[in-house]
Amino acid sequence: MHQTLGFIGGGNMAASLIGGLIADGWPSAKIHVSDPDAGRREHLSQLFSVQTHEQNEAIIEQCKIVLLAVKPQMMASAISPLQELINQQQPLLITIAAGIRLSDLSRWCNGYHNMIRSMPNTPALLQSGATALYADPAVSDANKDIAETVMRAVGIAIWVNEEAQMDAVTALSGSGPAYFFYVMQVMEQAGIELGLPEETARLLTLQTAFGAAKMAMESTDSPELLRAKVTSPGGTTEQALQTLHENGLQELFNKALHAAHRRSQQLAKEHGLQT
């Protein structure tokens, strides 16, 4: 039996989750969304046949599961006015806002603890996301199962044992799609410089990226072993990989992820200063 589920915020990530949940069998009649934008409410209502509301209070009053899908910098102002109602109704709160620590969310909710932090990434828009979750110790196993079910509707969902690991998740999978897009961009440009038509270079780049990811997902081999299997001694692939290695690609990626990790920690502190 599906419970009534609500979204505070009806942006792109909320829409992707709604679409995934409905495709996964969650009844649209049991999904509610609040958003201050009347046009956005109308769009979601027509697209998914969900219940929409202008006021966030309606979500807390009617839903046992509430996903907080507002922008991080708006979280405190959106949630603080609801703190009394939240403590009365006792919903499961799941935040999908990047950089919002549970300690800060709990403070804005007057000490509430039935909450889970999640970090999805943008491929969730295509039901191909990667989401990490961290639960407050007060959350029951049943509610953890519910949160995992919600996030699995748009991809894979993995639990982390420490909230501090969410900053590493942000650096790896949260920001990760952009890294791959950048690699695709430079590969496509290199193909054009080698004489390929732009459309040919693009299609070959995209299909190669898709095929490599599919092989890695469906294989029990590590990426290192898969790379070795397609690298013939003295061949073209070996020459390319040697050039990447000699020019410090591994070190550069390591520095990039550490920089993203530090920024994630900084943003969490900045968001936590909201009142």
When divided into structural domains, the chain yields a total of 2
Cα distance between the two ends of the chain: 38
Region 119-146: what's the mean pLDDT?
94
**CATH number, domain with residue 90:** 3.40.50.720
Q: 155 and 45, same structural domain? A: yes
115 assigned to some structural domain: yes
Note down the domain range covering 255.
Answer: 176-265
Q: Is 111 helix (H, G, I), strand (E, B) or coil?
A: coil
User: Which CATH number belongs to the domain containing residue 205 in this structure?
Assistant: 1.10.3730.10
Mean of pLDDT values over 151-166: 94
pTM above 0.95, yes or no: no
Average pLDDT, the chain: 94
In sequence order, what DSSP letters do the residues of 233-246 get, joined into one string?
TTSHHHHHHHHHHH
Averaged pLDDT, 164-177: 95
pLDDT score, position 275: 63
CA distance 86 to 66: 10
User: Are 204 and 96 members of one domain?
Assistant: no
For residues 191 and 90, state if they share a domain.
Answer: no
Same domain, residue pair 237 and 140: no
* Closest residue by Cα to residue 78 from 158, 170, 154, 10: 10
Distances (CA, A) of 220 to 53, 155, 223: 47, 19, 9
Q: What is the pLDDT of residues 68-120, one digit of tens each?
A: 999 999 999 999 999 999 999 999 999 998 889 999 999 999 999 999 999 99
Angstrom distances, CA of residue 185 to CA of 97, 191, 237: 28, 10, 19
Q: Looking at residues 138-148, what average pLDDT do you find?
A: 95
